[in-house]
Structure 1
Amino acid sequence: MRKHLALLVAALLLLAACTEDTPGPAPRPSAGTSGPCARETDAALSAWAVAGFSGSIAVATAGRFDCLVAYGSADDRAARPNTAGTVFSIGSITKAFTAAAVFRLADERKLTLDDRARTLLPQLKGPVGDATVRQLLLHTSGLKGTHANDSQPMSREQALQAIDALEVTGKPGEHYLYSNAGYTLLALIVDQVSGSGYRDYLTSRILRLPDGRTAGGFWSGQPAAPQPRAVGYREDGTAGEAGDFAGPYWAVEGNGGLAMTMKDLAAWTHALFTGGIVAADSVKAIAGAGAGREIGDGRTEVPGWVAFDASRFGVPFLTTAGGGGDVGHNAVVVWLPQQQRVIAMASNKPRISAEQLLERIGPAIAAAKPLPAPPSPAGGGALAAATGTYQLDGGGSFEVSVRDGRLAVSAAGADAVAALFPPPAGVTAGDLRRHEELVRELLAGRTLEGRKERAAFEAQYGPIDDVRLAGTVAQGGELRTYVTVVARGRQVLGYFALNEAGGVEAAEVPTAKPALVFLPSGDDRYHPDDPTAGGPDVILAFAEARMTLTGPAGSTAARRVS
């Protein structure tokens, strides 16, 4: 489960707008909830629902709900709406619960944060055994790479062996490198030290709220999160995994796998930071008091969370997020300690994710201004006339088609990908080249993880004859390098997203060509269908059998060939 950090504006969402006023109309109001949003806020959020947000939102102050609403569809086929009682997979937010379990065991004096992993798990023989519990919590153990795919059946023993065999970057404590495997290793420690097993310990000690209720459960396996659940929908429109994976579950234990309502996530977050889950000293440590690792831009990695300082907003906050992957959900939660306020959001469709919505409307709320409305497409535009294949002089090409009243444009070739997906501010050409070189090294088998990836590919497609770069895209907070792998005369397109040490964060082989969907802006021009304005900054124009793509670095023209 890869974590997506909420961006800088996330902390201030709904600070001024959520009250107990009578709610206004909404395209998909929540059913049977208390604490609805203010009329103006609900109306604004309803506009975002019309634009594509589908999910649930909970905001609470001092343990009392100010805003509890839901929009959109939980299941398109069954015509079932999202409600405040809909359950979502929370992905990497699970790490916050695993961290709490570790601190609860420390409260019980069953371990200390300075214990080395092999002291608690004597089976460890590899270099990760030298890492301390604290270093695992802060992603400074040195572990790189993943020990399994999310839906890969993996027993406890297999997970322990796989993590023990992973490569490390330097000595423990030297480098910050986000690691799912590190949090699964923490879950293995909880499993061993608690005496009751990881799942039982979480259920009995960590998920239990002060009022006696249990906050959710597991997306797959037992004890399961309750029904009803939202169906997740992936980028290609297919339904995500429904939580019926038979296990065993040690591919995601500790790093992702929990599920709950946003009401329960908000209630649990308040309980955690007000001493209802762990002792007061542990609360301070989780919040970063003397136990964090600075990672730049005013951010500090703390156990299970990321803390933002007050320099940017005048108020500190903590946040964690997760989602994507095989389930198709996205979730984010924010804790503002000075106000004792929690914001929890989840979405089950990719058009506007929970994190994207949080980013888009936060600044206006922080300034006590009306929430911005999602942009409306301009009228006109002869979509059918623009369809066809367009060729670049460098060899790349674009396929343009009409999909649901919008233009869908896919790119083939590194030059076409670069034109369709100009990198956002802060991502340099050097960053792209470095990532591409790491992917080359991976597929050349120069690392342990690379040899595993290469072996997995060759087991399915045969010996690799060639690897050709097909472009790099900045998407969803990560770099994805597309490659065409040639094996036995067959060309297979895939992408790899690696961290700075070359470890695989995400991969998909085979995959579809990178593509964007556009809406008309008027005058035969088109802009990305991106209500949150967080995607590529590119405009299309069509004239005289040519398509021109204009981005921050200038314009690129492609001629129509069919």
Structure 2
Amino acid sequence: MPHADIDKIAEETGFSGVVSIDRAGQVEFAQAYGLANRTYRVPNTVGTRFGIASGSKGFTALAVLSLVQDGLITLDTTARSLLGDDLPLIADDVTVEHLLTHTSGIGDYLDEEGDFSVTDYLIGAAHELTTTEAFLPLLDGHPAKFRAGERFAYCNGGFVVLALLAERASGAGYHDLVRERVLRPAGMTGTDFLRSDELPADAAVGYLPLEGVDRSNVFHLPVLATGDGGIHTTAADMSAFWRALYAGQIVTSPEEAVRPRRDVPEEGMRYGRGFWLHASSDAAILVGYDAGASFKSSHDPGTGVTRTVLSNTSPGAWPLARALEI
């Protein structure tokens, strides 16, 4: 796609964020648009850190798979064996594999099949959600939707449960597990879990899609991200991530994450373990959408091409992602 066309789409849509295209680590295009902070008129740069919402489910999956690799947990480990009496509505036969592939059937605290707006206040006291264990009251009380393994149904709560299981199996906190088992081996030095109420100067504030109002997402998301999404990253770090993943630097068998496990025809894609997959090519995809955040990044291991769009608005990434065929 000609670079001038990217600029045109960004201008026409009022895009705020970063677009990056590279091939085998060589940058072919990288451009920032819009403002990281509207109040103080701080522009986005190519090094700005953006929240990526559910895009970080892939990081959760890899942290879990690295624990499987080290023998601390198995794909057949049941959630109940580590939850004990917590979350009694999760069926006894739900396994790590079910949770990784969105086939667990458990009820979801943030059910995307429900009728709600991205501007709704959905999680209650956002400031209390600083640890994975703090999510237990939110995860509780949701009846199962179907029997484990019966079908695919995207489940945010399932990835919080995965974070809980990873913590209890390893004895380490979820945030440290991701830092040590994913971010560090991938060389993702600009990526981390940032509190929404104390963002550093190089992080973009997320803005709600409210006409004429510059309202941030600080009350809409957990103050500190956990297993189902919300880490902050950069375009360069996403490129480093994909290269490290396929080089076997995060887990020794990356195909364990990116081999298709389920067809998801309603999305026009397939699903692996924590990763969306192109319907017909080998490209792997991470996607995130939430209040004040939209993100899509894909990597084709055959061509070595990585395409990433990060935005600090809810709808911002999609026109450019479609144009770039991410």
For the aligned pair, the TM-score class normalised by the smaller chain equals 0.7 to 0.9
Residue 94 of structure 1: how far off its partner (Å): 1.3
Answering whether residue 44 of structure 2 is matched by residue 82 of structure 1, we say yes
Match of residue 276 from structure 2 = 306
Match of residue 298 from structure 2 = 334
Is the contact made by 1:68 and 1:263 (CA closer than 8 Å) also made in structure 2? no
Match of residue 15 from structure 2 = 53
SS in structure 2 at match of 1:267: helix
Answering whether residue 295 of structure 2 is matched by residue 320 of structure 1, we say no
Equivalent of 1:271 in 227, 244, 250: 244
The 1:69–1:175 alpha-carbon spacing in structure 2 relative to 1, beyond 3 Å, is same
Deviations 1:1-32 (Å, cap 9, x if unpaired)? xxxxxxxxxxxxx5xxxxxxxxxxxxxxxxxx
* Identical columns (%): 30
The 1:59–1:169 alpha-carbon spacing in structure 2 relative to 1, beyond 3 Å, is same
SS in structure 2 at match of 1:59: strand
Is the contact made by 1:225 and 1:260 (CA closer than 8 Å) also made in structure 2? no
Is the contact made by 1:320 and 1:332 (CA closer than 8 Å) also made in structure 2? yes
Which structure's relative contact order is higher, taking Cα pairs within 8 Å and 6+ residues apart? Answer: 2
Q: Structure 2: which amino acid aligns with 1:196?
A: A
Number of positions where the alignment pairs a residue of Structure 1 with one of Structure 2:
308
Match of residue 357 from structure 1 = 320
Q: Structure 2: which amino acid aligns with 1:342?
A: T
Match of residue 176 from structure 2 = 200
Residues of 2 paired with 1:245 and 1:164: CA distance?
18
Is the contact made by 2:133 and 2:164 (CA closer than 8 Å) also made in structure 1? no
Deviations 1:364-383 (Å, cap 9, x if unpaired)? xxxxxxxxxxxxxxxxxxxx
Q: Structure 2: which amino acid aligns with 1:273?
A: Y
Structure 1 residue runs of 5 or longer lacking an equivalent are 1-13, 15-39, 364-562
Higher share in strand = 1
The 1:357–1:278 alpha-carbon spacing in structure 2 relative to 1, beyond 3 Å, is same
Q: Structure 1: which amino acid aligns with 2:241?
A: W
SS in structure 1 at match of 2:287: strand
Residues of 2 paired with 1:151 and 1:162: CA distance?
10
Matches within 5 A, 1:83-482: 83-124=45-86, 125-146=88-109, 149=123, 152=126, 153-154=128-129, 156-160=132-136, 162-210=138-186, 212-220=187-195, 227-236=201-210, 237-242=213-218, 247=223, 249=224, 252-280=225-253, 283-288=254-259, 292-296=261-265, 299-310=269-280, 315-325=281-291, 328-349=292-313, 353-362=316-325
Is the contact made by 1:220 and 1:244 (CA closer than 8 Å) also made in structure 2? no
Residues of 2 paired with 1:254 and 1:246: CA distance?
11
Larger radius of gyration: 1
Higher share in helix = 2
The 1:348–1:127 alpha-carbon spacing in structure 2 relative to 1, beyond 3 Å, is closer
Residues of 1 paired with 2:124 and 2:25: CA distance?
34
Is the contact made by 1:335 and 1:342 (CA closer than 8 Å) also made in structure 2? yes
Q: Structure 1: which amino acid aligns with 2:317?
A: A
SS in structure 1 at match of 2:32: strand
Is the contact made by 1:331 and 1:354 (CA closer than 8 Å) also made in structure 2? yes
Residues of 1 paired with 2:218 and 2:139: CA distance?
27
Q: Once superposed, what is the RMSD of the aligned Cα atoms?
A: 2.7
Residue 295 of structure 1: how far off its partner (Å): 1.9
Residues of 2 paired with 1:353 and 1:345: CA distance?
9
Match of residue 407 from structure 1 = none
Matches within 5 A, 1:466-505: none
Is the contact made by 2:100 and 2:273 (CA closer than 8 Å) also made in structure 1? yes
Residues of 1 paired with 2:64 and 2:31: CA distance?
33
Residue 269 of structure 1: how far off its partner (Å): 2.2
Residues of 2 paired with 1:70 and 1:189: CA distance?
38
SS in structure 1 at match of 2:59: helix
Residue 123 of structure 1: how far off its partner (Å): 3.3
Q: Structure 1: which amino acid aligns with 2:271?
A: E
Residues of 2 paired with 1:255 and 1:293: CA distance?
19
Is the contact made by 2:91 and 2:106 (CA closer than 8 Å) also made in structure 1? yes
Residues of 2 paired with 1:274 and 1:258: CA distance?
23
The 1:157–1:123 alpha-carbon spacing in structure 2 relative to 1, beyond 3 Å, is farther
